[in-house]
């Protein structure tokens, strides 16, 4: 699916697309698929089927449209809206697109529930797990625990078949070496600068670090693919410590880290189901098709302007847009120099997600593809003689492949599954979506300490979003963490200066 038009755009030939099911989540509270195709006029206000009586009663008391404006309806924005809304604040949530979710996107493909963006969660991710528990969504398990075929593609394209035990042993040994000393480096990973050594080492790239480990070619290829995945870009640009910090958040443990990253999806409606539970609880008013282009701060309030010229006022604003989209918003006064520097550098984050259906049943396979091979990580999500094989593919560098070109994707898949015939394809190109312009947020070398500045409030302007998280900045958990923190910061402001 092409991110900028919201319409499928498969080059080459016609495929079974799982019909409309190939389109991610086409009906979010009455909205149609993503950016560029609003189902409501840009000025229309989409109010969820929540009760607004408490907020309405308060509205007259305030001289502004709301107590708080939240910009962006991903996990960070929805968490912040919920935190502040349940306390009786009037919250208006402005979302550029026509759906909840941001870089999460629940949908269906070839009869399966799939996530086109952020998917996997775990109880070692405390913030998102608390939300899963609070609303009783539970998890669905992938079939990765029962893989029967393990493949590693080396940088030159040769494919090595391993036993699953070999893959585990190679991966664990490489990861253990890569993350050696993690506990000392990040004794409190949610406060990553606790150990001053972090600042000294933050210019080391993942590629530099791998080169020092003395691994064999298969292990090197596995680590290369792992780092290409997490860095979502060339590993020479990805900060070695960025990965070690995320690893440390999972109790410095290889097995926990692996389970957290590929094994459990949110149950009951997936990410969208959980977001709906949270937003309904929040009682926030959600306005879709409301892309913000200016945030102006006055002495006792903020004025937020959308691209269609509408203005909304409030006592505070929480901005949760992805780092690479900040340049679309003018801040008056300007954000601090440190924040601007981080935003100007931008995050790497060129990943994508693609689902394919192969005609035949190739078993339950897991594959790492080292850079510059474009598929990066391939995992079977379903295989049977009835459906054939359905693969979830996470290319770390979507620039290396056109995920809408069925012939090109099939050619790459055939390098792992010779002669395989592609019968279905659906994906989402996050870097081409104007309101994300990136996938998960990965620090470049040297960015870790600068990133910590993002969470520092500027008067009535509060920045949230996964990239501002102390802990799992590449994850849904980081988004939730940041929404909780921004909620607390706004609460502190309100208690210092009551309305």
Q: Of 17, 55, 66, 73, which lies in the binding site for ligand FAD, with binding defined by CB under 6 A? A: 73
Q: 442 near 348, Cβ under 8 Å?
A: yes
The beta strand positions in 344-487, using DSSP E, are: 353-358, 365-369, 377-384, 388-394, 422-428, 461-463
Judged by CB under 6 A, does residue 96 bind ligand FAD? yes
Judged by CB under 6 A, does residue 424 bind ligand FAD? no
Judged by CB under 6 A, does residue 351 bind ligand FAD? yes
Judged by CB under 6 A, does residue 440 bind ligand FAD? yes
The residue to which tokens 């528990």 are assigned: 133
What minimum distance in Å lies between the beta carbon of 238 and ligand FAD? 15
Query: Toward ligand FAD, which CB reaches closer, 83 or 218?
Result: 83
Query: Toward ligand FAD, which CB reaches closer, 76 or 423?
Result: 76
Binding mask 114-133 for ligand FAD (x = CB under 6 A): ---xxxxx------------
Q: Residue 191: which of 123, 257, 251, 249 has the closest Cα? A: 249
CA–CA distance, 250 with 232 (Å, rounded to integer): 20
Judged by CB under 6 A, does residue 292 bind ligand FAD? yes
Judged by CB under 6 A, does residue 98 bind ligand FAD? no
Judged by CB under 6 A, does residue 71 bind ligand FAD? yes
- According to DSSP, the β-strands at 149-153 and 159-162 are antiparallel
Query: Toward ligand FAD, which CB reaches closer, 220 or 392?
Result: 392
What DSSP string runs through 83-142? HHHTTT--EEEE-SSSSS-TT--EEEETTEEEESS--B--TTSHHHHHHHHHHT--EEE-
CA–CA distance, 117 with 252 (Å, rounded to integer): 25
Judged by CB under 6 A, does residue 378 bind ligand FAD? no
CA distances from residue 54 to 213, 288, 320 in whole angstroms, order as listed: 60, 22, 25
Judged by CB under 6 A, does residue 202 bind ligand FAD? no
Judged by CB under 6 A, does residue 466 bind ligand FAD? yes
Stretch that binds ligand FAD, among 71-79, 275-283, 355-363, 397-405 (CB under 6 A): 71-79
Judged by CB under 6 A, does residue 106 bind ligand FAD? no
Burial class of 253 by CB neighbour count within 10 A (0 to 12, 13 to 18, 19+) = middle
CA–CA distance, 67 with 59 (Å, rounded to integer): 9
Binding mask 321-350 for ligand FAD (x = CB under 6 A): xx--x--xx---------------------
Which chain residues interact with ligand FAD by CB under 6 A? 71-77, 94-97, 102-104, 117-121, 291-292, 320-322, 325, 328-329, 351, 353, 430, 435-436, 439-440, 465-466, 475-479
């Amino acid at each position: 699916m092409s991110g900028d038009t919201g319409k499928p755009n498969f080059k080459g030939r016609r495929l079974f697309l799982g019909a409309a099911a190939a389109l991610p989540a086409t009906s979010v509270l009455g909205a149609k698929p993503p950016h560029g195709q609003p189902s409501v006029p840009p000025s229309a206000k989409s109010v969820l089927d929540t009760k607004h009586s408490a907020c309405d009663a308060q509205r007259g008391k305030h001289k502004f449209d709301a107590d708080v404006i939240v910009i962006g309806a991903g996990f960070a924005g929805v968490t912040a809206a919920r935190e502040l809304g349940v306390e009786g604040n009037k919250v208006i949530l402005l979302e550029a697109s026509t759906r909840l979710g941001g870089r999460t996107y629940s949908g269906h493909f070839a009869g399966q529930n799939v996530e086109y963006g952020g998917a996997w969660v775990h109880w070692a991710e405390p913030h998102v797990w608390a939300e899963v528990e609070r609303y009783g969504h539970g998890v669905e398990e992938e079939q990765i625990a029962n893989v029967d075929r393990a493949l590693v593609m080396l940088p030159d394209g040769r494919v090595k078949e391993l036993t699953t035990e070999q893959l585990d042993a190679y991966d664990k040994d490489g990861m253990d070496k890569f993350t050696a000393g993690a506990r000392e480096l990040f004794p409190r990973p949610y406060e990553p600068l606790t150990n001053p050594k972090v600042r000294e080492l933050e210019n080391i790239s993942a590629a530099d670090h791998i080169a020092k480990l003395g691994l064999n070619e298969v292990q090197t290829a596995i680590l290369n693919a792992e780092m290409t995945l997490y860095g979502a870009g060339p590993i020479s640009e990805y900060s070695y410590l960025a990965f070690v910090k995320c690893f440390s958040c999972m109790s410095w443990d290889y097995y926990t880290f692996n389970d957290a990253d590929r094994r459990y999806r949110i149950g009951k409606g997936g990410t969208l189901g959980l977001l709906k539970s949270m937003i309904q609880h929040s009682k926030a008013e959600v306005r879709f098709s409301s892309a913000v282009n200016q945030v102006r701060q006055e002495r006792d309030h903020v004025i937020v302007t959308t691209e269609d010229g509408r203005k909304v006022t409030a006592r505070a604003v929480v901005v949760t847009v992805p780092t690479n989209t900040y340049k679309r918003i003018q801040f008056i006064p300007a954000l601090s120099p440190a924040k601007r520097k981080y935003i100007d550098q931008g995050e790497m984050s060129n990943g994508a997600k693609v689902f394919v259906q192969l005609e035949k049943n190739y078993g339950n396979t897991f594959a790492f593809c080292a850079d510059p091979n474009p598929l990066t990580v391939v995992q079977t999500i379903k295989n049977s003689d009835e459906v054939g094989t359905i693969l979830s593919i996470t290319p770390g560098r979507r620039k290396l492949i056109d995920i809408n070109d069925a012939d090109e994707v099939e050619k790459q898949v055939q390098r792992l599954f010779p002669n395989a015939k592609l019968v279905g394809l659906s994906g989402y190109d996050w870097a081409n979506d104007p309101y994300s312009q990136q996938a998960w947020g990965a620090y470049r070398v040297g960015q870790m300490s600068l990133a910590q500045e993002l969470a520092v409030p500027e008067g009535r302007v509060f920045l949230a979003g996964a990239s501002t998280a102390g802990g799992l900045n590449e994850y849904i958990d980081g988004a939730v963490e940041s929404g909780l923190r921004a909620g607390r910061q706004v609460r502190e402001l309100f208690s210092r200066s009551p309305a």
